[in-house]
Amino acid sequence: MHAEIDVDARHATLEFEGARYPLLPSESVLDCLLRHGVQVSSCCRSGACQSCMLKVNAGRVPPASQRGIKATHQQQGLFLACMCKPTSDLSISRCEAAPSYASRVVRSERLSEGVLGVWLERPNELEFRAGQFLQLSRTTDGLMRPYSIASLPEQGPIELHVALLEHGRMSGWLQRAAGENVQIRGPFGECYYQEQEPERPLLLAGTGTGLAPLLGVVRAAIHAGHRAPITLFHGVRERAGLYMAAELGQLARDAAPLRLVASVLDADTFELPGWRVERAALDQLILSQYPKLNAHRLYFCGNPSLVQRLKRGAFLAGAALANIHSDPFVLPAAVAA
Amino acid sequence: MSTSLYERIGGEAAVDAAVDVFYRKVLSDPRIAEFFDSVDMDLQRAKQKAFLTYAFGGPNHYSGKDLRAAHAHMKLTDQHFDAVVEHLAATLTELGVPAEHIAEVAAIAASVRGHVLNR
């Protein structure tokens, strides 16, 4: 005699923001959350508009719920709630949710007049990819700022590049914060190297400390043995804005596929070992030099309007949006005001 | 039994083929490009995809209310709307879609004119 197990009686449940919701048979995650009065944005409800994107933390989402979304988003467990009809339990969260970790400032050091290098202790449980960013907060009062990761997970302490702003509360504090406790939340963002395509040319461009995530991507690419050309553009107003130029020059000499271009607006041409120095603005330089970008993977970081112009220009030059990774650096409201 | 417009055009694969071509045309048109200056391009592409799915007669839950709310603040005119429909037709022509199907798509697009132009 067999024990009767009614499979239909045991429905999958959703765990979301500390509550559990049982799914009806063939109900979507979106419908289930809405039925329980949970506020989730949605629009087309047919898998196209991506308004209802959520993130899976444990369990398996059906492949249909990840169709048509960027590979980098799939890798991070993002899925479309309207297309997701799970057959087993899921633990899910909103996309922007991320765990918090205790860390400590190991050291800080000037990389140039305007940029501070900061190294943080890496929490054991924190997994990230070089080029993603963290929300760093001061343990004493919770003051929080986002910073991109320039180092590989294998490199030990987490390397950040901090723009030293006049009256900058966080940047000012970080200059003398060695040994201090901090909290980090993340990782966020999709500016990171794609290991599965060592033959695709990479083009990276950033202004100011937008160099940090790009350096992260370059380090990851070289570490993985990338074979196609890697071209890094660093845009600055004055020559003094360049930093880590010597280290990068050395990296380009050691790693064959890396080429470096500095776009310096307010300077006469000068020599920089390992670099080509140009006076044109970053977007003009790149979009005139690369009329066709359909074969490239592209990374744009830093000044938001420049990032937007580059992204649009690259898309019009044939790049698929899924192959363009961008990180606009928006200044904190108090500084921008 | 006749197949739906969406199936005759080629379904989701047709939408995927059309969306980048269409979006590039829209962004390259000085008459309407400014409306896209500050938008998130990834989100915008997803919205274009939802719109194309709707215009191709595919599965969707687009409502007039959504369209109205999304465009209400933009002060759009008939010229702006016509430009977008023009690019839609040109995209489909470029992709080899038969003229009679394009006419059907244009008719579906035309049906939302009032919502988009907020009248």
Q: pLDDT by residue (tens digit) across A195-225?
A: 999 999 999 999 999 999 999 999 999 999 9
pLDDT in tens, A222-236: 999 999 999 999 999
Contact residues on chain B for A74, CB-CB shorter than 8 A: none
Q: Domains plus CATH for chain B?
A: 5-116 (1.10.490.10)
What beta strand segments (E) does chain A contain? 13-16, 19-22, 53-58, 78-80, 90-94, 100-110, 115-120, 133-138, 144-148, 158-163, 181-188, 202-207, 230-236, 258-264, 275-278, 297-302, 324-328
Residue A96 has a pLDDT of 78
Cα–Cα dist A288/A136, whole Å: 38
Q: Confirm if A119 and A157 have CB atoms less than 8 A apart.
A: yes
Residues A184 and A59 reside in one and the same domain? no
CA distances from A61 to A17, A84, A92, A94, A162 (A): 18, 7, 10, 15, 38
Task: Please give the tally of structural domains in chain A.
Answer: 3
Cα–Cα dist B50/B22, whole Å: 13
Q: The domain that contains A84 carries what CATH number?
A: 3.10.20.30
Q: If you count them, how many residues does chain A have?
A: 337
Q: The domain that contains A297 carries what CATH number?
A: 3.40.50.80
Sole residue written with tokens 């071509």: B21
Tell me if A196 is assigned to some domain.
no
Residues A143 and A158 reside in one and the same domain? yes
Tell me if A1 is assigned to some domain.
no
Alpha helix segments (H runs only) across B1-119: 5-9, 11-27, 41-55, 64-71, 78-94, 99-110, 113-116
Q: Is B92 exposed, middle or buried (0-12, 13-18, 19+ CB in 10 A)?
A: buried
pLDDT in tens, B46-103: 889 989 999 999 887 777 777 888 898 888 999 999 999 999 999 999 999 999 999 9
Cα–Cα dist A312/A321, whole Å: 9
Residues A184 and A223 reside in one and the same domain? no
Tell me if A2 is assigned to some domain.
no
Domain span holding position A128: 100-188
Residue A10 has a pLDDT of 62
Final residue before a domain boundary, out of A60, A94, A128? A94
3-state secondary structure of A337: coil
Q: The domain that contains A179 carries what CATH number?
A: 2.40.30.10
pLDDT in tens, A36-77: 999 888 878 888 778 889 999 999 999 999 988 888 888 889
Final residue before a domain boundary, out of A94, A110, A126? A94
Tell me if A231 is assigned to some domain.
yes
Residue of A nearest to B28 (CA): A316
pLDDT in tens, A265-318: 987 878 999 999 999 999 999 999 999 999 999 999 999 999 999 999 999 999
Tell me if A195 is assigned to some domain.
no
Tell me if A50 is assigned to some domain.
yes
Tell me if A194 is assigned to some domain.
no
CA distances from A26 to A31, A138, A234, A287, B5 (A): 10, 45, 51, 48, 27
Residue of A nearest to B70 (CA): A43
When computed from its CA atoms, the radius of gyration of chain A, rounded to whole angstroms, is: 22
Residues A89 and A120 reside in one and the same domain? no
Residues A105 and A67 reside in one and the same domain? no
Mean pLDDT, chain A, rounded, equals: 91
Residues of chain A with pLDDT > 70, as a percent, come to 95
Residues A207 and A331 reside in one and the same domain? yes
Residues A243 and A317 reside in one and the same domain? yes
Mutation site for A-interface testing, chosen from B23, B47, B71, B112 by largest number of A Cβ within 10 Å: B47
Sole residue written with tokens 């080629």: B10
Which phi and psi angles does A211 have, rounded to 5°?
A: -65, -30
Residues A147 and A61 reside in one and the same domain? no
Confirm whether the ipTM is greater than 0.85. Answer: yes
Residues A72 and A110 reside in one and the same domain? no
State if pTM tops 0.80.
yes
Tell me if A5 is assigned to some domain.
no
Distance from CA of B101 to the nearest CA of A (A): 22
Mean pLDDT of A98-120: 95
A312 CB near a chain B CB, below 8 Å?
yes
Residues A169 and A217 reside in one and the same domain? no
Final residue before a domain boundary, out of A42, A76, A94? A94
Cα–Cα dist A79/A66, whole Å: 5
